[in-house]
Amino acid sequence: MYRPQRTRNRNLLLAVAIFLSVAYYLRSSWSAPQPLESAVLEHHMNHDPPADPPSSKTARFDWSTVQFEHPPGPIRPLPKSSSSSPPPLPRVQHVFKPESAAQSALRTLRRDEVRSLFRKNWAAYRTRAWGRDALLPISGGGRDQFSGWAATLVDALDTLWIMGLRDEFDEAVAYVAEHVDFGKSTSDRVNTFETNIRYLGGLLAAYDLSRRPVLLRKAVELGDLLYVAFNTPNRMPVDFIDFVAAKTGRGLMVEESVVSASPGTLSLELTRLSQITGDARYYDAAARVMDLFARGQNETLIPGLWPMFVSMRRMDVVTGNTFTVAGCADSLYEYLPKMAALLEPSPEQARYAAMSRAFLDAADTALLYRPMLPGGEDLLMAGTASVNAAGAPVVLDPETEHLSCFIGGAYALAGKLFRRPRDVELGAKLTRGCVYSYRAMPTGMGPERWNMVPCASRTQCSWDEERWLAGKAERPEWKEGLPKGFTTAKDPRYILRPEAIESVFVLYRVTGRYEYQQMAWEMFKAVANGTATEFANAAVMDVTARGYPLPQEDYMESFWLAETLKYFYLVFSPPDLISLDDYIFNTEAHPFRRPG
């Protein structure tokens, strides 16, 4: 029903919000951004033609020449559409209505402020740590912890493109072509997981967006290096690649025990590399790993979930009694619905859809809990579960990690892909749970790890002061000043992580609800102010602190530019920019084009 008075009030509120945003904007500690012509910029972002590609130096070592001691045997072809393919997946994104001029002005202002903060950080990296893996945001130096291949630069390539920073993008691509050499490494052991999600993911997404041929050449070079990780007796990947031994072709030894996320987070990147190149070797290698996870999924102590630690040497993904969707396991689950989308349409799509549904149902039952809160808010968080033996009761530990905050977006995305509206609702409650961890803290930033008191029921949960007091008394990590409801902030740091804003972004794109933009803005203001340094932004040591300036750590992870600021930016961008119907994000926020 048309309500003119409500419309006038809403426009008045938006005008006030714009005025306040401008005031905050002008007081910002970083330099004011250049104004953007939104419509022109959106077209430029999505359709900018490739520039003349820079030439690339030949790597010191050609990984494609390695003669494997343990060759793979017959290569499984990429799945193709057939008569047995399932029906097409439904639309994911909400159909957004045109926004008013006031809404557009406010959104654009906020987006430009995110862009300005990114530019400040990029300028500091460029002048003080160019070519290093990470910037030291307090001292202004640089460090290498991911093999010295310019992790921050490669990780941020697609963010540069998405934000329309073409000169910076071209300069970074030229550096990759000239100086990034995957034939040498600053470390003797190369981390397979991190190399895959940051470097290969970054190169593939930047290529998918820009079509610069040099980026694909570098992605193939790196893909051939990662392929050597599968030169093992059972064709399962090593967690760390012995850089010297790998070059000889001598078989590598698979570690006895690894976190389940490590081997379980190779499928998206290697599959996309095969799709782009037509070389099925990469897909085949990752698919063998996922075959193992598929066979064991319903044989564990919590059917549908895998234990935190698995043995790829023994090909055992079943034994283990601790289960979580947080660190150690997170992206294994994240990739299941995304693989269904990436492999559409094909029979393999159905397998990943089934694996997704199994994990979503099991996690809902075993891991998700409603925390008891003074205001009675109806929200959810993800904890950790343990089981002593088959048939024994599942014991929930209501300890939540920031890393688990991706799960709200994962439920919402899967709910749309697989026509499960209840999962979208669960995703919304989980996302609000992580946003609550930000809002509740005096700094407005969520901690790395915390504990709550779980409700006995999800439907009714009144505040019980005595129960909360008893809960915090059981926790030696409790300290004065924690908000009511929290029994610990076991790790009170905020290290520029993206998972909470990732879920806010997904829920905004899936539901179209304006409240998620408001959540994102509150979070951005708190994070930008609390983490600011002279040069860039740094990890905060204690989000429960009440005095500014906050204690900080001289470290800035590459995911700050690759993920966190990208998701903030996209929340305030028109929804057709990197639409969820056209792209899927890897766990480092690198968007891959969905085929078709």
Instruction: Please tell me the least confidently modeled range out of 44-58, 492-506, 518-532, 578-592.
Output: 44-58
d(CA 9, CA 499): 34
Most confident of 81-85, 194-198, 389-393, 457-461: 194-198
Residue range 246-256: mean pLDDT, rounded: 97
Which one is catalytic: 344, 399, 499, 563?
Answer: 499
Which one is catalytic: 221, 224, 448, 557?
Answer: 448
The answer to whether residue 194 is catalytic is yes
Q: Supply the mean pLDDT for the chain.
A: 93
For residue 50, what pLDDT is reported?
53
Which one is catalytic: 112, 113, 269, 330?
Answer: 330
pLDDT digits (tens, 9 = 90+) for 112-143: 999 999 999 999 999 999 999 999 999 999 99
For residue 54, what pLDDT is reported?
57
For residue 51, what pLDDT is reported?
56
Label each residue of 45-91 as H, E or C: HHHCCCCCCCCCCCCCCCHHHCCCCCCCCCCCCCCCCCCCCCCCCCC
For residue 13, what pLDDT is reported?
47
For residue 39, what pLDDT is reported?
38
The answer to whether residue 37 is catalytic is no
Share of the chain above pLDDT 90, in %: 87
Label residue 25 by pLDDT band (50, 70, 90).
very low
The answer to whether residue 448 is catalytic is yes
d(CA 540, CA 537): 9
Label each residue of 476-509 as H, E or C: CCCCCCCCCCEEEEEECCECCCCHHHHHHHHHHH
The answer to whether residue 502 is catalytic is no
Q: Which two tokens stand for residue 269?
A: 């990147």
Query: Is pLDDT of 2 > 50?
Result: no
Residue range 186-192: mean pLDDT, rounded: 97
Residue range 493-510: mean pLDDT, rounded: 99
For residue 81, what pLDDT is reported?
84
- Enter the pTM of the model: 0.92
Residue range 328-348: mean pLDDT, rounded: 97
For residue 596, what pLDDT is reported?
76
Instruction: Please state the separation of Cα 79 from the chain's center in Å.
Output: 26
For residue 7, what pLDDT is reported?
40
d(CA 186, CA 485): 46
Query: Is pLDDT of 48 > 60?
Result: no
Query: Is pLDDT of 375 > 70?
Result: yes
Q: What is the CATH number of domain 4-593?
A: 1.50.10.10
For residue 14, what pLDDT is reported?
46
For residue 83, what pLDDT is reported?
80
Residue range 489-498: mean pLDDT, rounded: 98
Q: Which residue has the higher pLDDT, 321 or 596?
A: 321
587 assigned binding-site residue = yes
CB atoms within 10 A of CB 295: 12
